[in-house]
Structure formats: C-alpha cells, structure tokens
Amino acid sequence: MTIFHVATTGSDSAAGSQEAPFRTIQRAAEEAQPGDTVMVHEGEYREWVKPRRGGLSNTRRITYQAAEGEQVVIKGSEKVTDWTQTEGSVWKAVVPNSLFGDYNPFAIKLEGDWVVRETEDEPRMHLGDVYLNGMSFYEVLSKDALANPTRREMVVDNRTGREVPVVNPDSTVYVWYAEVGEDETTIWANFQDADPNAELVEINARRSVFYPEANHLDWITVRGFELAQAATPWAPPTADQPGLIGPNWAKGWIIEDCHIHDAKCSAVSLGKEASTGHNFFTLRHDKPGYQYQLESVFTARQIGWSKESIGSHIVRNNVIHDCGQNGIVGHLGCVFSEIYGNHIYNVAVKREFYGHEIGGIKLHAAIDVQIHDNYFHHTALGIWSDWQTQGTRISRNVFHDNGRDLYVEVSHGPYVVDYNLFGSDASIENMCDGGAWVGNLFAGTYLLQPVMERATPYHYPHSTKVAGYAVIYAGDDRMISNIFVGNGGDPADASAIHKHGVQDITRVGYGTLVYDEYPASWEEYMEQVMAGLPGDLGVYLTVKNAVYIRDNAYLDGARAYAKETDAVTDAADPELKFESTDDGVYFEITLPDSVADKQIPVVAASDLHRVRMVDLDFEEPDGSPVEFRTDLVGNELDGDVIAGPITSLTAGHNRVKVWG
C-alpha cells in the first residue's frame, strides 16, 4: 500500500511522497492503485477531482482523505479580483472563457425534466453563481433588475400551497447577471455596501468537485474534506445525475465526515447515468416523463443494474447544506446503500428555481436503502422517497422547520418508518401502499392519496429484478404506537379534496382519520372483494386496501381512525419545542398521564401483516425478520414501552437531547 501526499506547497512533477508532495489531488488520483491512500494536507484546492480507477473490494479501497487535524477545502469555484464599479453598488468583471474550459456555467441553462415553469418560453436561469465571502447570490435575468433587487420574505410552495420562508442571512439582496461572448464572460453583480476588490469574491467554474467521468470505479472512500461551490445541473430521475460529489454509477463508495455545501442543484449524487435516459421528455415532448422513467428502470437492468455491480454506498456523518435542489440525490444507483449521521439543512429553500425533484434526500428506487439517525431542518422537503420504496427503512431521524418532513410516493412496499420525530407543520405525504409506521411522533398534518393513473414497478425481495408493476391504491399501512399532535381547537376533519373515478384523490388531517373509509382487517378487505365478484379489475378499483391501526396516541385535537378501538385520545397540548444549542439539539414535550401510563408491547415482524400487492413480509436487508431494537435516542426496546419515538419520556415536562 502506498500513501501519496498532496500539499499546496508541492509540485505535480514531484514524487508524491511526504517529503515531496504533489500539488494537485488530481495528480495523485492518476497514480493511486487499489489499496492506496491519497493524503491531502491543509489548504485550498480549486479543482475537479476525477478518479482514474477504483478499488477492488471493500478491503482494497482507494482512499482520499484530509490529513488528520488539517482543514482541506476543495472548491469548484475560482476567485475574481478585478471588478469595476459601473453604477451605485453594481460592479462588473470580465473573465476569459478559458477559465471554464468546455463547461461555462454562465452559458448553461438550468433546465430538464420536471423543472417547474409557468410557460414553455419563460426565461431559463443558469448554472453559474457568485459568492461574496461564501454567500451565494441570486441571478436576475436582465441588467435593469440589478439596481433595485427586492427580497420576498415568503414564497408559496408549488406542491402544497403553503407559504415557506426564503433563506437569506439578512434583508439585503445580492444579485448577479451575466452575458457570455465568444471569448469572454461579463458578470455584473450588486454587492450592496461591499467592495468586491476588498472581499473574497468567487464564481462557479466547474460542474463537480469530486466525481469520476467513467462508470464502475468502485470501492472509493472520500473522508474529511470541505467540498463546495459546484455548478451542478438539474438532476431528475430521467437524466444523468451528476452531483458535487458522487460515484457515477458504481459500487461501494464511502463518503464520510465531510462538509459539503453550495451545490447549484445536488450535492451528493448516488444516481443514474446518461445511457438510461437524459431529459428525453424535455427534449422530445413525445410522451410523458413518467414513461421515460419507467423505461429507464428496464434499460438499467439491461446494462447491469444489480446488487453485484451498483450501489451499496455509505454516506455518513457529513454536514450538507445550501443546495438548490438536493442534499443527496439518486435514482437506481442508490440501491442497498446506508445513509446516516448526516446534518442536512438549507436545501431548496433559497427558491431561486423550483421543480418536482427536490429534498434534503431525494431518492428513486431506494431498494433496501437504510436512512437513519440524520437531522433535517430548513429544507423544502426533508426526505422524498419516490418509486420502488421497497425494503427501505427510514428510522430515528429528526425533522423540524421543513416545508414538509417526509414524502413517500408511488411505491408498494414493504417499507418501514420507525422512531422518527416529525416536527414540522406538514409531517407526512403518503402516496404509497405497504408501509409500517411504528413509534413515530407526527407534529403536523398527514396526507393520504391514491395514485391510480401511474403504475410503478416492484421487485423480487432484496433484488433489482422486476417482479411486476401496479397502480397505487393507498392503504395497506400499519400504524402502531405513534403519537399524533393536532392543531388545538380545530380537529381538521379529513375530507376529499379532489375526485378520481371511484377513489378519493387526497385526504389530509391530524391523525389517522384519513384512513376512515379503509377496511380494518384483511378479512374485511376480502369480504368486500368477494361481494364484488364476479369480475376482475373493476372489482378491485372499488375496494380500498386494509389498514392495521392500533395503540396510537392522539393529542391536542388529532383524531383516531374510526375503527381504532385502543387509541389514547387526550385534548392536552404537548407544547412541542426544539432548541438548538452549542451542545446539540433539544426537544421539549409535555406528556399527559394518559400517554405515559399506557404500555405497549414492542412491535415484532410477526405483528406486521404481509404486504398485499408485492406479497412480501417485512425484512431486514439480509432477509431476516425486521426488528425494532432501539428508539430515537438509543434506548433499548424490550418488553412494554410507551407510544412515540422516545420511550423514556415520563408524564409532565420532558427535555431530551435528540441530536449532537
């Protein structure tokens, strides 16, 4: 095993030893072989690291790491120092196009499948960005808009209709506009009271910071870096999905202990590559993007999408923030991965652009992916698990102050959501079948919606092999030992918002009342099916899935499923509160006696009815029965426990450290 050293005092013509280090990380990447380590020393490196080869196994990796105790920053930006004042607080800089090579982000439009625009000819924004002392600016689409920029305190979330805050450090608005010529790019920026020639000003210059150009470079570890300021493109599931950092369709990467921020779109990508489709709906308009996404699943199988060659990544203990689209993104390439210990915030809340592929974590086909012990706040959406959420487990995460906390979409399960703290006003959007929701706390609304116009695939257990596909009837959910919190005097009765044939499209409320019209057992479901015979498809379109709901607690106006006989309902306001301190994040709750006194046996796999459509049981990734071992704060689950994610709570006021 060889250790190659890189330092800002080095030379790429040196030997790469500790005494004679390389100057660039890329130079070391060209030399590193399986089993080698690239040790990078203190300093700032402005480059796009493109690994040339991967490791051979989990024990013969190529490792890239910051030297212990040293601050190493890798940036996709370049400094701009020669600014000329034009009018008032507006300044101009001219940079040669050679600075960008063949990727000038100020010339590349931000577009792709599911980017939301009011009209087809609406002006597109660009992938460029300007930073003042690390703070990202906003793009304006004309020079006239530079002089008097305005800041919207609130904007409307396109999906939910709710107002959400725009994240900005103060009321001052910093904006830029660019024009790209044949040989040079001219950038104008409103720096307000700052002098750009006296401050640090940077511009995006590279698509990525650490991302191979070739596929199948496996078994690479990236550890301990600050990675920042990349002009990443929009990353829908029907396109190539490059991120600021990522494996680019490979297996077995570890990304850990990094500080990752300021990706124009996506920071960490575990996503697909271009041969399985690249924005064909946007380019062709000949059929729906849904159809192209469905095709990408089958095309991926043809090029070797399997557990043996793709996925099984680990993304852990990173801080990820200030990204326009996603903290972590991935379609297909994320399978069998584990994502834990990450702090994710300020994602898709700048609201400079919008689309239907946003989230702190946005995954498609998260087969057997384990997402646990993460902390999400101030994101437009904490986790969005979309399509083929099968074997997926979302466990022991903390959410608050998000536009929405968790959205599970058009999947058939089995999937598990257990011992999470959902602290935002909109806790859950559920457009799936086959979930097990155990031991959570929901501080906000719960939305339930069938999706009868889109059929999505399901798989053989613990495999990418497609077993079938089906529309989403909704239901077939298990809701056990959760706490639901209402909004006080208004119980927010669930009601159908829209209609689609014989199925209600959307029901929303505080609690499990959204399931009121669903059968309470498998036997009741089958009775309704038999009553509709003879027939075939039409019979099932009129019957809702069974649900299995018991032992939940409902506070402050939240309401129970009409057929739940063992619910605890209490009008008490639990006075929920989150507080972030230097020591960590604390959660406060005042628990009524009625909840604290009810003991519930810890849920076992045998308590979870087999999922109907996929016809599978709830299992761990290794195929053993699913187990519920620990709660949100690490308490061992044994015997009887109270409802909710923290089983050590007692009656009255509680203050518990939940992160840090």
Got the DSSP string for 362-385? EEES-TT-EEES-EEEEES-SEEE
Strand partners, 261: 228, 321
As a whole number, mean pLDDT of residues 230-241 equals 98
Distance CA 417, CA 633 (A): 16
Evaluate if residue 151 carries a pLDDT over 80. no
Evaluate if residue 530 carries a pLDDT over 50. yes
Render pLDDT for 362-411 as a digit per residue (tens, 0 to 9): 999 999 999 999 999 999 999 999 999 999 999 999 999 999 999 999 99
559 and 513 in contact (C-beta within 8 Å)? yes
As a whole number, mean pLDDT of residues 539-543 equals 92
Q: Which long-range contacts does 80-89 make (Cβ < 8 Å, 24+ apart)?
A: 80/187, 80/196, 80/201, 80/202, 80/203, 81/197, 81/201, 82/197, 83/189, 83/196, 83/197, 83/201, 86/188, 87/147, 88/147, 89/190, 89/191, 89/192, 89/193
Residues with Cβ within 8 Å of residue 101, at least 6 apart in sequence: none
Render pLDDT for 168-222 as a digit per residue (tens, 0 to 9): 444 568 999 999 999 999 999 999 999 999 999 999 999 999 999 999 999 999 9
As a whole number, mean pLDDT of residues 457-479 equals 97
As a whole number, mean pLDDT of residues 406-432 equals 97
Tell whether omega for the bond before 236 is within 30 degrees of 0, i.e. cis. no
